[in-house]
Amino acid sequence: MNDSVSRPPRPDTDRKPHSAHWGVFSAAWKKGALEVLPHPGDPDPNPLIQNFTNALDHPVRVKAPMVRRGWLERGPGPDAARGRDGYVQVSWEHALDLLAAELKRVKDLHGPLAVFGGSYGWSSAGRFHHAQSQVHRFLNTALGGYVRSVNSYSAGASAVILPHILGSMDDVARRNVTWEQIVGHTDVVLAFGGMALKNSRVASGGISRHIERESMRQAAARGCRFINISPLSSDFPTDAQAEWIPAVPGTDVALMLALVHELVAHGWHDEVFLAQFCEGWEDFQHYLLGRQDGQAKNAAWAAAICGVPAAKIAELARLLRGKRVLVTVAHSLQRAEHGEQPVWMAAVLAAALGQLGLPGGGYAYALGTLAHYGKRSNAVPVASLPQGVNGVKAFIPVARISDMLLHPGEPFDYNGKRMPYPHVRLAYWAGGNPFHHHQDLKRLTRAFATLDTFVVHEIGWTATARHADIVLPCTMTLEREDIGGAPTDPLLVAMHRIAAPNGQARDDYDIFADLSERLGTRQAFTEGRTSGQWLRHLYEKTRVALQEKGLDAPDFDQFWEKGELTLPQQDDDGGILRAFRADPSGQPLPTPSGKVQISSPVIAGFGYVDCPGHPAWLPPEDAPTPAFPLFLVANQPATRLHSQLDFGAHSASRKRQDREVCTLHPQDAAARGIADGDIVRLFNARGACLASAALSTTIMPGVVQLPTGAWYDPVEDASGQVALCGHGNPNILTRDAGTSSLAQGCSGQLTSVQVERFDDALPPMRAFEAPAAETVVSG
């Protein structure tokens, strides 16, 4: 791989502050290299910041505007050549003229209902240059709106189920039990999906202090027991001294049911709490005890499903009795078939224990999966760019993108409603990577082939850029000024510019401003401000709010000079669950009954077989078979955020033979003649990919783990079909199906595969090479 620097060595510079979703840092040029150091106040810095050191000048950066040859020659229209076509370099003027004309054509012919602007993705930490906000604002001002997407790949199922049963996602995940409460009060943390530090070190908008490791250490030292229910023992750091209970992926609901069954069988459940604070226990109990289907959901029943011995389940129930127990469920559990069920069932378990609303107890959904959760909220707002008004009502649940493009006009179910998929002709993406985040990549390729036009702003030649018709090079965060901040992190960061833009890269904002000019809407988009003026404007909200509280409120120049500002935070008050427990009639939950919905007449009324009116064990369709006997866990990568900077020094250094590393149990490896370090082929009916095999007993037998984020590198067979991903992107294997008719969330965490040793010649890894510009056209 060619990592050579494409410009003359840079002179030494002073150290300047900056921020990323994975940590606050400072950077300086020293002897021609970028030196990146964590914020001095960060007790447990994230090594991911080292992915920046070689990123700025990497050959895979997009350096100039490029147009796909087929689109340039044949004009807009469905085209199966997307993803394999060549590119033609054009001038900025020409690219923006072409794009403005195409936006106008689609709008005039079909209206904004034909433009998909969901543009899902994490982009970069700065709040002004947040690409998704930029593209939404542009489409609203220039076209009057766009088809949007709702919810996230993170929490598609929980975002819909939680408001039915407890309250909003934010109330249950973000403003609930904190790490401070765990350190002070919790006896047992029962963590389904664990609390992997790799995950809790990341927060959108930035994170200045990584406190999770130390919090776990202190809680454990006080005697708190952490229980890791997961296929991987590595889902807890050793600091937590967690007990590992390996469970078959996707079967947590059976285990939770059996725990509640044990509580009820021994009379250890909190009947007073269930009667006073909950609705629907009776209906649920009929199911639990098997009064309808003749099957009690007891430990013996669950053991056969989840692989945890019945005696161990009984022991666990006994451990929970009379203790201050916190139940957590990682996002991963609901990124799966019937993902609504574990989110709901965990709330029922916490309710049966009578723990909801107690300090350090109850249910903190997703605590430990992101640095947002388990923290105090800021007492003043941080900057964000207003997105304007979207005149289009149509939307899709975010992970239904391929369905929408392949089935325009056809109906889909969502949260009690049935709606048609809009007929989209143009998709606009800035700040996201669908060839990272979406499932069944061959199907996604077919879906994008249906478009008239696909536009992408990117810093690098991701597979998404390689499937686009118009690729516009944008600056990466280090090349511009911004403000970093998040609602539960007290540090507002003045993100200084570290380097001049690579090649012809421009800020997303300036690209949209010049496009708006061509569409006659520049003033509406910019409000007459340059990006520098916007930063001052957005900072002002925070300054005024501080001033109103009588606090020190430095002006923008002082803030910029100092590089950061510490914001005041709210009390650690336990949020809506604590308030509800203290005063159930005065502070009801925002549910139909005002109580915890153990059963939900509303959901029952939807009549969905894949999401009934109370939590239930629903066996998955995509389970191992004789042909594909292993579970694949396609989880978050430890070496990067999603696909971002996969070419960065830290991420690249963890690959072997340029391939992503997958982990499997020595027993499963031996049965297949696989040794540590062998290249293996993972495959199922949808596709195949290569990876380097690492053998470890930190994973349970029957499970193979391959993280997401390796840039898709399709390798074609003799007939021109994609034979495999040569780099190790697991989404060529995952299934593209909604969690259920209720939420239609992403279910990409789990699938079933076979693994074999790959003895053929290793295809060269080309994901980090930019496509050559075939010709240059100036206009």
Ligand X SMILES: Nc1nc2c(c(=O)[nH]1)N[C@H]1C(S)=C(S)[C@@H](COP(=O)(O)OP(=O)(O)OC[C@H]3O[C@@H](n4cnc5c(=O)[nH]c(N)nc54)[C@H](O)[C@@H]3O)O[C@H]1N2
216: Cα within 13 Å, side-chain hemisphere: 24
Q: How far apart are the first and last CA of the chain?
A: 34
> How far apart are CB 166 and Mo ion at their closest, in Å?
21
d(CA 290, CA 351): 20
Q: What's the farthest any 2 CA atoms get from each other in the chain?
A: 79
> For residues 229 and 545, which CB has a smaller minimum distance to ligand X in the complex?
229
* Segment holding 319, helix H or strand E: helix 310-320
Helix (H, G, I), strand (E, B) or coil at 117: coil
| Cα–Cα–Cα angle for 763, 765, 768, rounded to 5 degrees | 160
**Shortest distance, CB of residue 545 to ligand X, whole angstroms?**
27
595 binds, among Mo ion, ligand X, none (CB under 5 to 8 A by kind): none
Nearer to ligand X, 17 or 194 (CB): 194
Which residue type sits at 695?
L
Local structure of residue 627 (DSSP, 8 states): S
C-alpha dist (Å) from residue 257 to 253, 362, 778: 6, 16, 66
- Calpha distance 574→91 (Å, rounded): 55
Please state the closest distance from residue 190 (CB atom) to ligand X, in A: 11
Cα 336 from Cα 748, distance rounded (Å): 6
Residue type, 95: A
Active-site residue list: 120, 122
Residue 704 site contact among Mo ion, ligand X, none (CB < 5 to 8 Å, cut-off depends on kind): none
Residue with tokens 């369905």: 403
* 731 touches Mo ion (CB under 5 A): no
Question: Can you tell me the distance from the alpha carbon of 652 to that of 661, in angstroms, rounded to the nearest whole number?
Answer: 11
Nearest to 741 by CA among 365, 337, 402, 250: 337
**Alpha carbon 779 to its chain's center:** 40
Q: How far is the CB of 8 from ligand X (least distance, A)?
A: 25
- Considering the complex, what minimum distance in angstroms separates the CB of residue 703 from ligand X? 8
Measured from the CB atom, is 160 or 358 closer to ligand X?
A: 160
Burial letters for 650-669: b for 16+ Cβ neighbours within 10 Å, e otherwise? bbbeebeebbbbbbbbeebb
Minimum CB distance to ligand X smaller for 88 or for 256: 256
Partner whose footprint covers residue 333, from Mo ion, ligand X, none (CB < 5 to 8 Å by kind): ligand X
Least distance to ligand X, CB of residue 175, Å: 18
How do strand 411-414 and strand 417-420 relate by DSSP bridges?
antiparallel
Residues that bind ligand X in the complex, under the rule CB under 6 A: 120-124, 129, 131, 153-154, 192-194, 196, 198-199, 202, 229-232, 235, 247, 249-250, 252, 330-333, 335-336, 369-370, 430-433, 436-437, 457-460, 462, 474, 476, 508, 633-638, 641-644, 708, 730-731, 734, 748-750
Pick 230 or 445: Cβ nearer ligand X: 230
495 forms beta bridges with: 482
Closest CB to ligand X among residues 675, 685? 685
- Residue 57 CA to its chain's centroid (Å): 27
Instruction: Find the shortest distance in angstroms from Cβ 214 to Mo ion.
Output: 24
Q: Which does 235 bind (CB under 5 to 8 A by kind): Mo ion, ligand X, none?
A: ligand X
Q: How many Å apart are CA 227 and CA 240, to the nearest integer?
A: 9
Of ligand X, Mo ion, none, which one does residue 642 interact with (CB within 5 to 8 Å by kind)? ligand X
Query: With 0-12 CB in 10 A as exposed, 13-18 as middle and 19+ as buried, what is 606?
Result: middle
Q: How far is the CB of 165 from Mo ion (least distance, A)?
A: 22
What is the SS3 assignment for 751? strand
Q: Return the number of the residue (85 or 337) whose C-beta is nearest ligand X.
A: 337
Q: Which residues contact 110 (CB under 8 A, 6 or more apart)?
A: 423, 425
Compare residues 467 and 543 and give the one whose CB is closer to ligand X: 467
CA-to-CA dists, residue 648 to 48, 460, 640, angstroms: 9, 11, 8
Binding mask 312-351 toward Mo ion (x if CB under 5 A, else -) reads ----------------------------------------
Angle between helices 158-165 and 340-352 (to 10 degrees): 30
Q: Which is nearer to ligand X, 331 or 543 (CB)?
A: 331
Question: Of these partners, ligand X, Mo ion, none, which one is at the site of residue 26 (CB under 5 to 8 Å by kind)?
Answer: none
Cα 176 to Cα 401: distance, rounded to the nearest angstrom:
32
- Could you tell which of ligand X, Mo ion, none binds residue 192, using a CB distance below 5 to 8 A set by kind? ligand X
Selection from Mo ion, ligand X, none that 193 binds (CB < 5 to 8 A by kind) is ligand X
Nearer to Mo ion, 330 or 755 (CB): 330
The entry of Mo ion, ligand X, none that residue 624 binds, CB within 5 to 8 Å by partner kind:
none
Cβ atoms 142, 515 nearer than 8 A? yes
The least CB distance from residue 774 to ligand X, in Å, is: 24
Q: Which residues pair with 489 in a beta bridge?
A: 486
Task: For the CB of residue 187, give the shortest distance to ligand X in the complex, in Å.
Answer: 21
Using CB distances below 5 to 8 A depending on partner kind, what does residue 636 bind out of Mo ion, ligand X, none?
Answer: ligand X
Burial 530-550 (b: 16+ CB within 10 A, else e): ebeebbbebbeebbebbeeee
Q: Using the minimum distance from each CB to Mo ion, give the nearer residue, 154 or 334.
A: 154
Instruction: Give me the 142-171 binding string for Mo ion, x by CB under 5 A, dash otherwise.
Output: ------------x-----------------
Which residue lies nearer to ligand X by CB, 279 or 482?
A: 482
- For the CB of residue 277, give the shortest distance to ligand X in the complex, in Å: 27
Task: Write down the residue that tokens 């919810």 correspond to.
Answer: 151
CB proximity list for 416: less than 8 A, separation 6 or greater: 602, 605, 606, 742
DSSP conformation class of 418: E
Residue 494, helix vs strand vs coil = strand
CB of 502 to ligand X, least distance (A): 13
Q: Are 748 and 335 in contact (CB under 8 A)?
A: yes
Phi, psi angle pair for 562, to nearest 5°? -75, -30
Binding site for Mo ion (CB under 5 A): 154
